[in-house]
Homo-oligomer: A and B are copies of this chain.
């Protein structure tokens, strides 16, 4: 089997992790890295002496690559991803896919027309704890999901051109869509810009799903305690996924409220509370990014639709876009209409443009 030749564009905070993971995959190799910062390239040279290093990502188009990874700042995702797709390269782009839904849709269309894999780096969709959470929901163990509360807060890192929501919430939104489905119908958001006037460093979001499930997301760059926790409350059980915990990431509580079957008047109503065992399933640890990179390579080789495909990325952007509007307009609820997600694992066909169809 030939190894897949991969290039990486952007080698800042997250890039080195991508390079390391692709370098260690059996059926891929990192051939070249582009970054505007010469110091970063020097550091890479010391560790990977055979890499082609360049300041201009366009040099990568001459290297007979099969795919690129775009790990540049978010405001450049659209232009670079578009360029790479138009040069016939499969693309794994970091979250968010783009900064608005129109550009996201254009990227999906270009990939579709050219039969290319377009995948977004929603790394939590490849995290075994999230997979376990979905198994618990799909298997009915939790009962009907009532609501989900997600918290992702920490001190820093402030970014110059994005607020905390665009920086942190793509993780939570992609987890929620993966767990509950792509049927969010409305979104609202509120927050504060404490340190810089123009950049919200604290944001609270509300999502309503077509199924009636509601979700609340709290993200912040200004909290003394690092917290990454998702609470799923169902009619049968309650589950807490705490990503900061090293070994007990998921706790399943046999807790709930029994509604009284019938009450003459409200006055004599009496709920019964169930508080039973707690179960902590063993989650086998595999680096989520490793599973993500492997999936990208597999989808290219087998010509299949990936899990966090372009439409998934677009739906996350649609929610962010609506929430941003709400954030700047008195927290008013916004309707959203997500796109149906193509079947994961389906054959990736090269399709004529829709106009031509």
Q: Is the CB of A257 within 8 A of B156?
A: yes
Q: Is the CB of B275 within 8 A of A282?
A: yes
Contact A267 to B147, CB < 8 A, known contacts A222-B257, A231-B224: no
The 7 closest A-B pairs by CB, nearest first: A278-B280, A146-B194, A224-B253, A224-B238, A160-B266, A192-B214, A276-B282
Q: Is the CB of B257 within 8 A of A202?
A: no
Shortest Cβ distance from A263 into B: residue: B160
Query: Which residues of A (222-270) have their CB < 8 Å from a CB of B?
Result: 222-225, 231, 233, 238, 240, 248, 251, 253-257, 259, 266-267, 269
Number of interface residues of A (CB under 8 A): 59
Whether A55 sits at the interface, judged by CB under 8 Å, is no
Whether A281 sits at the interface, judged by CB under 8 Å, is yes
For A188, the chain B residues whose CB sits under 8 A away are 190, 331
Q: Is the CB of A277 within 8 A of B277?
A: no
Contact with B along A136-177 (1 / 0, CB 8 A): 000000000011010000011110110000000000000000
Secondary structure dominating the interface of A: strand
Q: How far is the CA of A321 from the CA of B266 in the complex (A)?
A: 22
Whether A135 sits at the interface, judged by CB under 8 Å, is no
Whether A105 sits at the interface, judged by CB under 8 Å, is no
Whether A204 sits at the interface, judged by CB under 8 Å, is yes
Residues of chain A having any CB pair with chain B under 8 Å: 47, 49, 146-147, 149, 155-158, 160-161, 188, 190-192, 194-196, 202, 204, 206, 214, 216, 218, 220-225, 231, 233, 238, 240, 248, 251, 253-257, 259, 266-267, 269, 271, 273, 275-282, 330-333
29 A-B pairs in the complex with CB atoms less than 8 angstroms apart = A146-B195, A147-B192, A149-B220, A155-B255, A155-B275, A156-B271, A156-B273, A158-B257, A160-B269, A190-B216, A192-B214, A194-B233, A196-B259, A222-B257, A223-B238, A224-B231, A224-B233, A224-B238, A224-B251, A224-B253, A276-B282, A277-B279, A277-B281, A277-B282, A279-B280, A330-B333, A331-B331, A331-B332, A332-B332
Contact A204 to B204, CB < 8 A, known contacts A155-B255, A156-B271, A330-B333: yes
Q: How far is the CA of A282 from the CA of B276 in the complex (A)?
A: 5
Q: Is the CB of A240 within 8 A of B224?
A: yes
- A-B contacts besides A146-B195, A331-B331, 4 pairs, CB < 8 Å: A192-B214, A223-B231, A224-B251, A225-B240
For A254, the chain B residues whose CB sits under 8 A away are 282
